[in-house]
Structure 1
Amino acid sequence: MVVGDVTTGTDVLVIGAGPAGYVAAIRAGQLDLDVTLVEKDAYGGTCLNHGCIPSKAMITATDVAHEARHAEEMGIHADPAIDLSGMVSWKDGVVDQLTSGVEKLCKANGVNLLEGTAVFADEHTARISHSGEGQGSETIEFEHAIVATGSRPIPIPDFSFDDEPILNSRQALALDSVPDSLAVVGAGYIGMELASVFAKLGTEVTVVEALDAILPGYDDDLKRPVKQRANDLGIDFHFGYAATEWYEPGDGIRVIAEPAGDAAADGGEVQVEEPDEDDRLELDVEKALIAVGRAPVSDTLELEAAGVETDENGVIETDSRARTNVDHIFAVGDVAGEPMLAHKGSAEGQVAAEVIAGEPAALDHQAMPAVVFTDPEIATVGMTETEADEAGFDPVVGEFPLRASGRALTMGDSDGFVKIVAEESDGYVLGASIVAPEASELIAELGLAIELGATLEDVASTVHAHPTLSESVMEAAENALGQAIHTLNR
């Protein structure tokens, strides 16, 4: 029996319950709006269920094992046994705790929760198809809508995620046994994070990247310690190659990669050169992880029925208030394009809810941090020196190496640095970049400095506890002022 179609109304319809969507729904509920949140899979979206949280849980767990195994110089001798199924079970417990918390918070803020798939019928109406046999559908009329459908892994030709040996990041994080060998296609942040995870589990990892370096978009000095650490882990790299096919010769699979063309070197669409038997790579591995990026999920919504436009890549373009080209329809998170960061999506979600409620909200990307959870971590915020110079500033740079940090040395992890960029004339902090353990935590102080309009003097004169990694931030500011104590001044 199919449940009859019903029509209900709401002030705000939010489609997608990831970090952008559920934050938008909760904030709108706090602002006394009637809110309906539709999710087809699991509350928390990809980030909480299959991406940010599970990957960081696995990074932490494998770091524990790796550090114990390599702590001889500290007088610690250990060879921990790894139970991957137990590790995954622990990771799943963390995920379950967070996703159930999202559901409770939504309900506590008066958000109406619906399970199902939403498509637009027109600019003020959506149809919700409920999952499960006999569950039927319903129609929702809305005053405003917020699209927060996120993104999905980008596939490459001839590598289907339906084939058991071919993995996307979600599937890789759910494995119940450690593969002996793994090809990672793509050396962006997902590929590099998971390459390190599996290398620390004992997997023989080979990374194939069409460009000429890891982590495109990041400066060489930030990438260098990460690449060196990856080399130390035994990760093998092949740059300038694009994976083109795979087959099963017997045990495991053979991945074929051909030289990538010039467009790839420029960061454009990968063009594969004419095959040459002498140039091609043949990698015999147990599994292959495809991590070449993510694409917005906008093709499932029937956006044209509501008049919402996308660009050629499926990105829903928005203004600083998260509005699409249709004034009462908003888009937040990955579906609204780069940077595809969970915290950027959450910030957009809050802005969209506040704009709908009549608040004077807008998103300022000036102090938007970006983090790569590699080993060591990379974190950036604001402008680089080059960007500041191109923007018309007269930048001054201060830097503090972690090898001069007492805390970093006591952690046995002193590769990296803190770098601060400021305007020379008045000292206002313009940007920062950090490569260090806990860089993801350290960057917040500098994001706050940019947001508040703090100067180098403000940061340098703030007393930091000793011994801590955060002292490196203070010392970098002092270095820019020419008064660093624990490193040579520029």
Structure 2
Amino acid sequence: TDFCLVSIGREKESKNIGLEEQGVITNRGTIKCNSDDLETSVKGIYAIGDVTGGLMLAHVAYYEADIAVANALTSIGGFPVRKIKPNYKVVPSTIFTSPNIGSVGMRRKVAKDRGIDVLMGLFPYKALGKAKCMGEIEEKGFLTILADKDTFEIVGASCIGAEASEIIAEIALGLQHNLTIHDITETIHTHPTLSEMVVEAANAAVGKAIHKKGRPIHN
């Protein structure tokens, strides 16, 4: 081993910014807010990001910022926005290492623990035309997609390789809208692109992959 990544965590920065003077309730640095609209204990003051005690991810904070602004403007009235309730059903995560790592939804063990029998489609970068064009280094890695065996609804995915954080975004959209494996396989993907791996892995899940050998993996 040449390198070791040590992650010691982060702290919430909510002290000495005037919250107490405004009457905003906090608990050990976490700002108490309404889960329906992100409004704090003081009407008109909203909280987003790490200080809410939720997932400490930048893209979650961006998402919450949009919601907080929309809800604040809705409470004022006269703006072309609507009230939005936060939905954390789908939160993609990424490790920006080399190779890139991305995941969203459930892992196989989690699905199994929840009583979901899954199909798993795996597709390697080395079988993808775009990855071959990018060079030997980019041929390393794979994408796996999990789907409910009974409904074919997508339940999760993991990717290790070039632009994994980008590839996982399409599957996050599918999870958000309860799409099935067939919704992906019946969608035309541009060739040659890395995003083709999504449709290839989806085809692999139902035993229809034509660019690799293998059958759907049942669990």
TM-score class, shorter:
0.7 to 0.9
Corresponding residue to 2:124 among 395, 401, 422? 401
Residue 177 of structure 2 is matched in structure 1 by 452
Residue 214 of structure 1 is matched in structure 2 by none
Residue 63 of structure 2 is matched in structure 1 by 347
The within-5 A match list for 1:55-74 is none
Q: Secondary structure at the match of 1:365?
A: coil
The alpha-carbon deviation at position 468 of structure 1 amounts to 1.8
The alpha-carbon deviation at position 462 of structure 1 amounts to 1.3
Q: Secondary structure at the match of 1:482?
A: coil
1:315 aligns with 2:30: yes
The alpha-carbon deviation at position 298 of structure 1 amounts to 0.5
Q: Render the CA deviation track for 1:184-218: whole Å, top value 9, x for unaligned.
A: xxxxxxxxxxxxxxxxxxxxxxxxxxxxxxxxxxx
Amino acid at match of 1:236: F
The alpha-carbon deviation at position 433 of structure 1 amounts to 1.4
1:376 aligns with 2:143: no
Q: Render the CA deviation track for 1:394-432: whole Å, top value 9, x for unaligned.
A: 332211121222221222212211111221111111221
Farther-moved stretch of structure 1 (431-440 vs 381-390): 381-390
* Contact 1:334–1:341 (CA under 8 A) maintained in structure 2: yes
The within-5 A match list for 1:192-271 is 235-237=2-4
The alpha-carbon deviation at position 446 of structure 1 amounts to 0.8
Query: 1:462, 1:367 → 2: CA distance?
Result: 21
Residue 12 of structure 1 is matched in structure 2 by none
1:389 aligns with 2:86: no
Q: Are the structure 2 counterparts of residues 352 and 441 from structure 1 closer, same or farther at C-alpha, using a change threshold of 3 Å?
A: same
* Unmatched runs of 5 consecutive residues or more in structure 2: 76-81
* Contact 1:368–1:382 (CA under 8 A) maintained in structure 2: yes
The alpha-carbon deviation at position 457 of structure 1 amounts to 0.4
The within-5 A match list for 1:2-17 is none
The within-5 A match list for 1:82-481 is 235-237=2-4, 292-312=8-28, 314-318=29-33, 319-356=35-72, 357-358=74-75, 359-411=82-134, 412=136, 413-481=138-206
More strand by share: 1
* Unmatched runs of 5 consecutive residues or more in structure 1: 1-230, 240-289
Larger Rg: 1
The alpha-carbon deviation at position 392 of structure 1 amounts to 4.1
Q: Are the structure 2 counterparts of residues 430 and 311 from structure 1 closer, same or farther at C-alpha, using a change threshold of 3 Å?
A: farther
Amino acid at match of 2:108: E
RMSD value over aligned CA atoms? 2.2
Residue 482 of structure 1 is matched in structure 2 by 207
Amino acid at match of 2:3: D
Residue 79 of structure 2 is matched in structure 1 by none
Aligned residues: 205
The alpha-carbon deviation at position 322 of structure 1 amounts to 1.5
Q: Are the structure 2 counterparts of residues 386 and 311 from structure 1 closer, same or farther at C-alpha, using a change threshold of 3 Å?
A: farther
Query: 1:396, 1:317 → 2: CA distance?
Result: 40
* Identity between Structure 1 and Structure 2 (%): 37
Amino acid at match of 1:456: I
Amino acid at match of 1:366: K
